[in-house]
DNA sequence: CTCTATGTTGGACAGGTGTCCAGTCAAGTG
DNA sequence: CACTTGACTGGACACCTGTCCAACATAGAG
């Protein structure tokens, strides 16, 4: 997949593509961000904090798994350092954090949010490397959430 | 940094460089692996499991932080898919897991190891993205280890 | 000494990225 | 109608990666 073939499919010249896209990385980041922003939030109002967190994570993983190739492509892309990629990276990270905080309810414990964020990033990384499928990712994260949340219900 | 300039500095032709290196990604992965393999292990025999784990993590972070540019470069490199990168990626991951298991002592709980592995990968990723310095990484991981290990001492 | 194996080299190549710019085209403005 | 504005275009460019190959050096074996 080259920027030029993307431009061609879009019926547009490469030069035009580059007026909208700073880079190939930016393209992937933008697509991923739009996909993410459009996902529904897990509801899971009736359950323990652990259950709510597991529901939030499952919902995220499921949404991301809808477009596995996009998820794979975005992982290296987000490591780029165009200003546009920087912007989207922050937004995407904030999106994750927001969901985790919501699952934790009022006064979320910062180290807890941190642990979830790092574990989730790590899972995305490992899936992006092909070390896990997204189905495995869901299962492993379920157990990991249980470990992290241990002693935090009520 | 191009493969050709590296070859030149090494006093060798680009063609020769490519007889030893499958790719630029392979170069970074190999350097990182060697650096990692040469690091000493944290001792920390006298303490709780949490303290041993924190010591293991601090030791790893400190070792990695010795070569911050290498650490930054290796993150995208490990996402490549040359066979050589695959090999080194597995070795590097196994190295982390081994250290975490050692810190946990006999019969390490698999979900615990999993949680540590994902959180640590996530931290490396975020540092690689420039979202954290390595000093911040050490502090955040300390708190995260405490959360993950909660209720696992003795 | 000759021959062979091994490592090295220059140079070309196909493909990719991101940049630049002069020129075209269509739509809207006065 | 003439003009301006903005989006688009073709085509060139510099630079990078990874591949290939014929040619060369050189050390050691017979």
State residue B46's pLDDT score.
76
Following CA atoms B95, A60, A35, A113 in sequence, which dihedral angle do they give, to the nearest 10 degrees? -70
The overall average pLDDT reported for chain A is: 94
Residue with tokens 């290196």: B21
Classify burial at B38, counting beta carbons within 10 Å of its beta carbon; exposed 0-12, middle 13-18, buried 19 or more. exposed
pTM here is 0.93
Q: Read off the pLDDT of residues B25-60 as tens digits, 9 standing for 90 and up.
A: 999 999 999 999 999 888 767 789 999 999 999 999
**Chain B contact present for A150, CB below 8 A:** yes
Residues of chain B with pLDDT under 70: 44
Q: For residues B49 and B102, what is the distance between their CA atoms, to the nearest angstrom?
A: 10
Closest nucleotide to B14: CA versus each C1' = C9
Instruction: Give chain B's radius of gyration (CA, Å).
Output: 17
State residue A42's pLDDT score.
79
Q: For testing the chain B interface, which of A73, A81, A108, A119 should be mutated: the one with the most B CBs within 10 Å?
A: A119
Classify burial at B75, counting beta carbons within 10 Å of its beta carbon; exposed 0-12, middle 13-18, buried 19 or more. buried
Q: Give B151's contacts in chain A (Cβ within 8 Å).
A: 150-151
User: Quick one: chain B helix, strand, coil %, rounded to 5?
Assistant: 75, 0, 25
Q: For residues B77 and A79, what is the distance between their CA atoms, to the nearest angstrom?
A: 10
């Amino acid at each position: 997949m080259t920027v030029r073939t993307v431009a061609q499919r879009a019926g547009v010249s490469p030069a035009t593509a580059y007026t909208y896209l700073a880079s190939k990385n930016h393209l992937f980041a933008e697509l991923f961000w739009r996909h993410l922003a459009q996902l529904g939030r897990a509801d899971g109002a009736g359950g323990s904090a652990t259950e709510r967190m597991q529901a939030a994570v499952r919902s995220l993983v499921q949404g991301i798994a809808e477009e596995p190739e996009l998820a794979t492509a975005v992982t290296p892309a987000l490591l780029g350092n165009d200003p546009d990629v920087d912007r989207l990276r922050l937004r995407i990270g904030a999106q994750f954090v927001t969901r985790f905080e919501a699952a934790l309810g009022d006064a979320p414990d910062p180290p807890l949010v941190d642990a979830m964020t790092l574990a989730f990033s790590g899972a995305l990384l490992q899936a992006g490397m092909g070390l896990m499928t997204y189905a495995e990712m869901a299962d492993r994260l379920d157990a990991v959430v249980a470990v992290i949340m241990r002693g935090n219900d009520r």
